[in-house]
Structure 1
């Protein structure tokens, strides 16, 4: 029973209907610094689904806080109307709505024209991850920014929001003042602990004077930045304790990590290789030290996890941001006790933080409706129920089947394999990737609830199509490993799929040839290393995992390093003999030889399986031919994200 999760929580003057929080996260849905219809629709979906608290993404409090071209800004009165729409959308469905107030300091990524602007920090200390060398903030600018927080808070009060959250997490400007490694000032804002705390204390004092009693005033902070020159757990805890004792806080939102370094930033949105509830040790320290409610975020994927952390006293509310991106209806399902119906986040980071890092509106590989609520947020019943045959029970076919059935069509899915799932069944077998299998588990449960019939061990051909006479055939037959022509007659050559499925290789060194730069080659390399092989990973890219979202890639690169896998970048496979692999440098065309290799494993992408569509078109006269649709890898081999997205789009269109 989720007895604690669905009890109200008072935070300052605001009351939350439950303890489920969508914490602040950039959506890449703002435009020209302002709220858009797309952003309103995105947050409306989370409010409608039952979230207790929605914390909006960071809003810049000063012109120098515009850290990226798609930043949301709260530095002029022009923001009030848009924030008001967000407040109204949340309140209409019973959610409490806070907004983050932000200045990133040295953290600047890009401007609207692609150039880099000037960044300001406590001191002129360069950042490692974004390679920015900031200017030290003049005293007058420090005062402007402090006043900017208070002025922005007043605007949010006018917009009808319920609270503001000062962002001191992840090495942003308040943390840059706190940290002696980034604060080398000699004025009143540098040197001693109290001087370094002064900026954040004054921000909270000014903000509190502006809105206290009307809006909740909270603080988000990293309790440890996972970096030896970052703000330590003890320093962050000391700051929180003193600010709470001064009566400046209505709540604390706990996270870890820093945006300033690669390793530190990997804690911001922890991938599936990290344990669930990975930040609760830090939140427990804060909970024991302060008198105000504590929110914690960090792989809280399931309502059961949230209930557990509340029961243990780790925090008073659970940040479940990615879980709500994956399933905005999670709170509603959980409250009625239908935990099986929840589409669980698998921590892949591909379409959420991955889209943000590439400058695109966030979404979810399992739920592509997220971020596209204006177009796909509501299902419209089909005008006429049709018979739909789906060939292939991978992610594309299953998603198309689910959406079509939910709209009223009668859908049967056939799959040649013994188990539905397609390539996901292989992906989940790689080290650290077991959770990825949840993508199919979730789709199968949705298919069951939508009354989709699934028949395994059946290969669809033109004869079956003629016999069933469906109105529409969805070809989602996937792909097979691509094996190019190679001069490798004497070599032992296997496909990555064969190795994942258990094929054994001769003793000795193995070379894994990588073309896509995704999880496949890295996963196979680690798998082989765990089986006792010495492994070389040769990739056509600048580095292994180049196509992956950074946090996921970093975790996988750590695995390669820990298993002593040798990485040979910028090389393509040319050929192999009994003990030597011949590579070619992709920039110079010069040969690169790797000797002493007993076998080669190919991770060179996939070729579409299109035979069924061609067979149907050849065997059935046009008058008898059903409507034919190709989706997923059989259309063009890509990733699970594109497969599910195309399945959803087709399901809406049928």
Structure 2
């Protein structure tokens, strides 16, 4: 980057293969397969990163043996039918100067349900149960170990036939090879268990098998969790010893360091760490391993900005930086960074909603800020308009900002009107909660796109029907958002009841003993609970669901639940708000229907969701021109739906 030493854009050569910079996309499930094969959507998804300047993209974990197949779709690398799809993807990325590696894996005991909804037989080094998925595996026989090792060789040969540039072995996150490394999981007493040497034996055999499969030319790397950060997980000191031994293998070319494990809820939060984790927090792990090995070391974990990547490289903590979500949020990030256009980068805010959140719900991954990601075949290239129109966008929240930016980029004359003094809508409230300041980047990023697209922005402007008629637009987009939902609460006149919005806007005083009625089960209730607890309040979070944060991505939720437990917040599930008086809050249990009374309440905080703002829409009910309603003004949901609808409507104008 301009202004100093440029480590990020210095090429790196590994086994004769030159990577044009130090930015790569880690292996991650994109949910863009069909019958275990690469689709055109997946090709375009990776090609967008390649075109945007990434040096390397690592394709998601492919299965090497039928025993590793589960209900979660994955490439079957052991099947030659995978070759054409891999080849098409490789050619598309390599044509833009980006190298392509395949990731080979076996989940071991980390098995979800089979495709038919039954529980598949899970295999592991020993019959030690998995805590997260509640799976009791079957111990692998030596014969099966040899079959799996052979599966790595067969799969590697298919990768070579497809024309890829390398192979990465998954021994991270508590999957099969990582299970062999863990002495608490691997309790074998044969040649594959016991001593560190024996526990590493399968990895050494896998490396040798892959080298046989790919020959001398392709790069081979291995991904390791420097620390699993979970009960009975691999500790740093254990991994340092094993990484040093594994790194000495002459057939291995690099080590890729991450953190966490799939085996437990605590460890799994590190698989895709949310904004509650510090940026670049895994780099001490890679630095410790890099000091023990004499080969390039890759690292990933909340490296969401080129400045952070540059610091990581300059400090000697790693040789390559995995910036997967940064590339999902902005596939052009590398080129922008190299050109010095740092302010134009759409920085990832680590909300986890549309990337890993989609993946865990078996939907193609995307980004709440950039819904074009994952939809490249439909929205990858904005189509210029033949006849520009005068477009009025009303509302400067995420929906309006996206609609205005895309419409202007396509060539329309766009004016955006916002009634308040600043853009952002409800994002301005979300960023006020503990650990959520980074979420404000959504507004920063979208506002930058609006400015770059040449949108005329008018703040402090209330739009009415008369105003619209005076402006005479060709098309209107209503994106005025919503208001705080505050239904009648029986007895509220005798109690101290305030809304979540009043608290966030600084319009309410809260007593020492707080009850939060959390209907939505999202970030609002959890964030308020944390804020009050850190202020020294006694906090009870009454959620109308099974768990606090039920509607948000589980890794973000579970990290937050951890913090709330440490803060002493009492979380009470299955409660429906009924009423209140001067000292009590009244609820009904959503399952039993019985009353639940919470006593000694100074303040009841209602977090009961949002309702659409429909005043302007009602004024225009007989308007005959082109009129579109999007975002919370259409139906209260989240930033993701608002931005996506902004994209869709602007693409249709």
Q: TM-score range by the shorter chain?
A: over 0.9
| 1:87 paired to 2:107 | no
Q: For the residues of structure 2 that align with 1:67 and 1:178, how far apart are their CA atoms?
A: 23
- How far does residue 473 in structure 1 lie from its aligned partner after superposition? 0.8
Q: Which residue in 1 is equivalent to 2:573?
A: 569
Task: State the secondary structure of the residue aligned to 1:296.
Answer: strand
Q: For the residues of structure 2 that align with 1:591 and 1:70, how far apart are their CA atoms?
A: 44
Q: For the residues of structure 1 that align with 2:621 and 2:177, how far apart are their CA atoms?
A: 64
- How far does residue 233 in structure 1 lie from its aligned partner after superposition? 1.6
Q: For the residues of structure 2 that align with 1:475 and 1:187, how far apart are their CA atoms?
A: 68
Q: Which residue in 2 is equivalent to 1:553?
A: 557
Matches within 5 A, 1:571-650: 571-618=575-622, 622=624, 626-650=625-649
| 1:511 paired to 2:515 | yes
- How far does residue 501 in structure 1 lie from its aligned partner after superposition? 1.1
| Aligned residues of 1:297 and 1:320 also touching (Cα < 8 A) | yes
Task: State the secondary structure of the residue aligned to 1:573.
Answer: strand
Q: Which residue in 2 is equivalent to 1:262?
A: 265
- How far does residue 16 in structure 1 lie from its aligned partner after superposition? 0.5
| 1:97 paired to 2:105 | no
Matches within 5 A, 1:56-75: 56-75=59-78
Task: State the secondary structure of the residue aligned to 1:54.
Answer: strand
Matches within 5 A, 1:161-172: 161-172=164-175
Q: Which residue in 2 is equivalent to 1:307?
A: 310
- How far does residue 494 in structure 1 lie from its aligned partner after superposition? 1.0
| Aligned residues of 2:71 and 2:116 also touching (Cα < 8 A) | no
Q: For the residues of structure 1 that align with 2:534 and 2:223, how far apart are their CA atoms?
A: 40
Q: Which of these residues, 507, 519, 525, is aligned with residue 521 of structure 1?
A: 525
Q: Which runs of 5+ in 1 are unaligned?
A: none
Task: State the secondary structure of the residue aligned to 1:71.
Answer: coil
Q: For the residues of structure 2 that align with 1:99 and 1:246, how far apart are their CA atoms?
A: 20
Q: For the residues of structure 2 that align with 1:387 and 1:500, how far apart are their CA atoms?
A: 37
Q: Deviations over 1:567-621 (max 9, x none)?
A: 1110110000111111001111111001111121111111101111110235x5x
Q: Deviations over 1:21-41 (max 9, x none)?
A: 001111111121111111111
Q: Which residue in 2 is equivalent to 1:324?
A: 327
Task: State the secondary structure of the residue aligned to 2:602.
Answer: strand
Q: For the residues of structure 1 that align with 2:540 and 2:136, how far apart are their CA atoms?
A: 37
Q: Which residue in 2 is equivalent to 1:379?
A: 382
Q: Which residue in 1 is equivalent to 2:651?
A: 652
| Aligned residues of 1:391 and 1:415 also touching (Cα < 8 A) | yes
Q: Which residue in 2 is equivalent to 1:441?
A: 444
| Aligned residues of 2:227 and 2:234 also touching (Cα < 8 A) | yes
Q: Deviations over 1:225-245 (max 9, x none)?
A: 002411222222222211222
Task: State the secondary structure of the residue aligned to 1:578.
Answer: coil
Q: For the residues of structure 2 that align with 1:592 and 1:159, how far apart are their CA atoms?
A: 62
Q: Deviations over 1:250-290 (max 9, x none)?
A: 00100011000000011111110111111110100111111
Matches within 5 A, 1:27-426: 27-426=30-429
Task: State the secondary structure of the residue aligned to 2:200.
Answer: helix
Q: TM-score, normalised by structure 1?
A: 0.98
Q: Which of these residues, 3, 17, 21, is aligned with residue 18 of structure 1?
A: 21
- How far does residue 506 in structure 1 lie from its aligned partner after superposition? 4.7
| Aligned residues of 1:511 and 1:601 also touching (Cα < 8 A) | yes
Q: Which runs of 5+ in 2 are unaligned?
A: none
Q: Deviations over 1:278-314 (max 9, x none)?
A: 1110100111111111110011111111111111101
Q: For the residues of structure 2 that align with 1:346 and 1:609, how far apart are their CA atoms?
A: 27
| Aligned residues of 1:31 and 1:72 also touching (Cα < 8 A) | no
Task: State the secondary structure of the residue aligned to 2:578.
Answer: strand
- How far does residue 417 in structure 1 lie from its aligned partner after superposition? 0.9
* Structure 1 range deviating more: 48-57 or 105-114: 105-114
* Structure 1 range deviating more: 105-114 or 637-646: 105-114
Q: TM-score, normalised by structure 2?
A: 0.98
Q: For the residues of structure 1 that align with 2:230 and 2:520, how far apart are their CA atoms?
A: 31
| Aligned residues of 1:67 and 1:107 also touching (Cα < 8 A) | no
Q: Deviations over 1:35-68 (max 9, x none)?
A: 1111111001111111001111001001011133
Q: For the residues of structure 1 that align with 2:131 and 2:407, how far apart are their CA atoms?
A: 48
| Aligned residues of 1:97 and 1:162 also touching (Cα < 8 A) | yes
| Aligned residues of 1:13 and 1:213 also touching (Cα < 8 A) | no
| Aligned residues of 2:159 and 2:214 also touching (Cα < 8 A) | no
Task: State the secondary structure of the residue aligned to 1:489.
Answer: helix
Count of aligned pairs between the two proteins: 649
| 1:531 paired to 2:559 | no
- How far does residue 356 in structure 1 lie from its aligned partner after superposition? 0.9
- How far does residue 529 in structure 1 lie from its aligned partner after superposition? 2.1
| Aligned residues of 1:149 and 1:207 also touching (Cα < 8 A) | yes
| Aligned residues of 2:101 and 2:165 also touching (Cα < 8 A) | yes
| Aligned residues of 2:347 and 2:441 also touching (Cα < 8 A) | yes
| Aligned residues of 1:540 and 1:571 also touching (Cα < 8 A) | yes
| Aligned residues of 1:28 and 1:70 also touching (Cα < 8 A) | yes
Supply the RMSD in Å over aligned alpha carbons: 1.1
Q: For the residues of structure 1 that align with 2:508 and 2:628, how far apart are their CA atoms?
A: 38
Q: For the residues of structure 2 that align with 1:219 and 1:255, how far apart are their CA atoms?
A: 11
Q: Which residue in 2 is equivalent to 1:428?
A: 431
Task: State the secondary structure of the residue aligned to 2:37.
Answer: coil
- How far does residue 138 in structure 1 lie from its aligned partner after superposition? 1.2
Q: Deviations over 1:72-104 (max 9, x none)?
A: 210111111111011101111110100101011
Residue 230 to residue 530, structure 1, CA distance change in 2 (3 Å): closer
Q: Deviations over 1:98-124 (max 9, x none)?
A: 010101111111222222211111111
- How far does residue 479 in structure 1 lie from its aligned partner after superposition? 0.6
- How far does residue 547 in structure 1 lie from its aligned partner after superposition? 0.7
- How far does residue 513 in structure 1 lie from its aligned partner after superposition? 0.4
Q: Deviations over 1:414-457 (max 9, x none)?
A: 11111110000000000000000000000011100001111111
| 1:453 paired to 2:452 | no
